[in-house]
Amino acid sequence: MAHDPESPPNPQTDAVVHFIQQLYLGCPRVIVTPAILVISAIAFVFLLTKGAGISGDNLDIYIEYGANLGALTKDNQWWRLLAAIFLHYGILHLAFNMWALWDAGRLTERLFGHTNFAWIYLFSGLFASLSSLYWNQDDVASVGASGAVFGVFGALIGYLVRQRHTVPELLLKQLLKTALFFTGFALVFGFTVPAIDNAAHVGGLISGLLLGLLLAKPLSRKRPRLVPALLAHAGSVALLVTAITQAPPAYYDYQAQRQAEQVIKRFVQEENQLMNEWRALVEELQSGRLVTEVNIQQQLNRMLDDWSQLQGQTRAAGKIQLKARQRIALLHEYAGFRIDNIHYLNRYIETGDEQQMRYITNNMQNIKRVLDALNKSAGIEP
C-alpha cells in the first residue's frame, strides 16, 4: 500500500518503528537462540539413537544421560543440572519448548545482547533445576528447557517493567500482555497436571525476572550499569554455589534402590514359577497320582529349599526408598508363610494330623493379608 504523504503523522506508530530500528541496529542477528535450538535438537536425536523413543518413554535412557534426579545429582553429579536443560521427554515436549523459546527468545536476546541473554537462559535453567531438586525431594527425574524458557519470559517482563518509560506505550502493553498471559496460563496449567514440574517453572520465572530487572537498559545505552550488572552476574553465581553446597543429601542411594527393584522383580518372577509347582503338587495329591510318600516329600523338600532361597534374597541393602523397603519386607513375610505351609503339609503327610490342614487354612488368611498390602503398595485396588 502506498504511503499517503498528506496523512497526519502517528506519534505512537513512529515511536514503535524507531524502537524496532534501534533494536535491530544494536543486535542485527540473534545467535544464542538458534544455537540453543540446534543443541536441543541434537540432544534429542542422540537420545533417539540410544533408544529413548520418539515419545520419550524410556526413562532409564534419560537418567543415564543427564536427567536431574536428586539421588544422582546430589551424588556429586551436579552436571545434571545443566544437562537436563537440553533434554526433552519426546518430540512434543521438545517442540513446545523450542516454539516458546523462538517466540520470546529472539526479542529478549536483542534487548539484552548475546552474552547477557545466554547467561539469563543458563542461570534460569540451572536455578529451575535446583528448584525442582529441592521441591521434589529426589523422587522426580526432571528434564526440559521449560524452566529456562520461563526465565526468558521472566527477563522480558523484567525489562518491560524496568524500561517502561523507554519502550513505546503501544508496544509495551502488547508485549507485557502476551508475556503475562503465557506465563500465567502455563503456570496454572502446570499446577493442574501432576506430570508437569511446576517447581522448575516457578524457579526459572523468578530467576529470569530478577536478572531482567537488574540487566535491563535503554537501547540507546551501549552497556548496562556496572553495579546492577555485577550484582546480577556475581549474585547469581553465588546463589547457585550456595544452593548446591547447602542442598540436603539424598534420602536414598540410587544404586541401592535399583538393586532393591531388581530383588522385587526377581522375586515376582520366581514366585510365579514356585506357585505353579505348588498348584501342580496339590492337584497331584488330590488326584492320587503320587502314590508314594517318598515322591511327595521329595517334591516338598525341593520346594522348601527354593522358597527358603527366595526368602533369603529379600534383603534390602543400603539406603532405599521407604516404599521399596516396605515392599521387600512384605515379600519376606509372604515367603515365610509359604514356607510354613510346606512344613504343615509335610507333617500332615507324615502323621495324618488334620490339625496341620487347619494350620494351612488359617495361614492362607495371613497370605491374603500380605498380598493385599503388596497390591496396595503397588497402587492396585483389591
Q: Is residue 189 part of a domain?
A: yes
The answer to whether the CB of 164 falls within 8 A of the CB of 194 is: no
Q: Is residue 2 part of a domain?
A: no
Q: Active-site residues: which are they?
A: 146, 201
Which domain range does residue 296 map to?
254-377
The answer to whether the CB of 184 falls within 8 A of the CB of 205 is: no
**What is the spatial distance between Cα 204 and Cα 127, in angstroms, rounded to a whole number?**
6
Highest mean pLDDT among 19-23, 44-48, 246-250, 343-347: 44-48
Instruction: Kindly list the distances between the CA atom of residue 43 and the CA atoms of 30, 145, 147, 292, 379, in Å, as whole numbers in the listed order.
Output: 21, 12, 17, 66, 34
pLDDT value of residue 30: 94
Instruction: Kindly list the distances between the CA atom of residue 185 and the CA atoms of 61, 179, 189, 221, 279, in Å, as whole numbers in the listed order.
Output: 31, 10, 6, 34, 57
Question: Which residue is listed with cell 519376606?
Answer: 332
Instruction: Kindly list the distances between the CA atom of residue 93 and the CA atoms of 6, 105, 180, 271, 349, in Å, as whole numbers in the listed order.
Output: 51, 17, 21, 39, 63
Q: Is residue 7 part of a domain?
A: no
pLDDT, tens digit (0-9, with 9 covering 90-100), for 102-116? 999 999 999 999 999
> Would you place residue 222 in the very low, low, confident or very high pLDDT band (cuts 50, 70, 90)?
confident
pLDDT, tens digit (0-9, with 9 covering 90-100), for 141-190? 999 999 999 999 999 999 999 999 888 888 899 999 999 999 999 999 88
The answer to whether the CB of 300 falls within 8 A of the CB of 345 is: yes
Mean pLDDT of the region 229-239: 91
Among the residue ranges 55-59, 88-92, 202-206, the one predicted with the least confidence is: 55-59
Report the amino acid identity of residue 253: D
Same domain assignment for residues 237 and 276? no
The answer to whether the CB of 349 falls within 8 A of the CB of 321 is: no
Instruction: Provide the percentage of residues in the chain whose pLDDT is more than 70.
Output: 94
Residue 118: CATH number of its domain: 1.20.1540.10
pTM assigned to the model: 0.84
pLDDT, tens digit (0-9, with 9 covering 90-100), for 15-35? 888 888 888 888 899 999 999
Same domain assignment for residues 187 and 268? no
Same domain assignment for residues 235 and 130? yes
DSSP category for residue 249: P
The answer to whether the CB of 47 falls within 8 A of the CB of 118 is: no
Same domain assignment for residues 150 and 93? yes
End residue of a domain, out of 186, 214, 245: 245
Q: How many CA atoms lie within 13 A of 382 on its CB side?
A: 9
Q: Is residue 336 part of a domain?
A: yes
pLDDT value of residue 150: 97
> Would you place residue 139 in the very low, low, confident or very high pLDDT band (cuts 50, 70, 90)?
confident
Measuring CA to CA, which residue among 138, 135, 129 is closest to residue 78? 129
pLDDT value of residue 6: 54
**What is the spatial distance between Cα 197 and Cα 141, in angstroms, rounded to a whole number?**
10
**What is the spatial distance between Cα 147 and Cα 33, in angstroms, rounded to a whole number?**
15
**3-state SS assignment for residue 274:** helix
End residue of a domain, out of 211, 245, 279: 245
**What is the spatial distance between Cα 137 and Cα 303, in angstroms, rounded to a whole number?**
42
> Would you place residue 317 in the very low, low, confident or very high pLDDT band (cuts 50, 70, 90)?
confident
Same domain assignment for residues 300 and 262? yes
Same domain assignment for residues 231 and 259? no
Q: Is residue 3 part of a domain?
A: no
Buried-state track 51-67, b at ≥16 Cβ within 10 A, e below 16: ebeeebeeeebbbebbb
Report the amino acid identity of residue 315: R
Give a three-class secondary structure readout of 177-207.
HHHHHHHHHHHHHHHHCCCCCHHHHHHHHHH
Q: Is residue 382 part of a domain?
A: no
**What is the spatial distance between Cα 346 and Cα 362, in angstroms, rounded to a whole number?**
16
Same domain assignment for residues 213 and 262? no
Same domain assignment for residues 189 and 115? yes
Instruction: Provide the percentage of residues in the chain whose pLDDT is more than 90.
Output: 52
Provide the number of structural domains found in the chain.
Answer: 2
Q: Is residue 211 part of a domain?
A: yes
- What are 382's three cell numbers? 483389591
Same domain assignment for residues 157 and 223? yes
**What is the spatial distance between Cα 10 and Cα 173, in angstroms, rounded to a whole number?**
17
Same domain assignment for residues 191 and 323? no
Mean pLDDT of the region 216-240: 86
End residue of a domain, out of 187, 216, 245: 245
**Taking 50 as the threshold, does the pLDDT of residue 1 lie above it?**
no
**Taking 60 as the threshold, does the pLDDT of residue 276 lie above it?**
yes
Q: Is residue 350 part of a domain?
A: yes
Same domain assignment for residues 222 and 271? no
Same domain assignment for residues 237 and 260? no
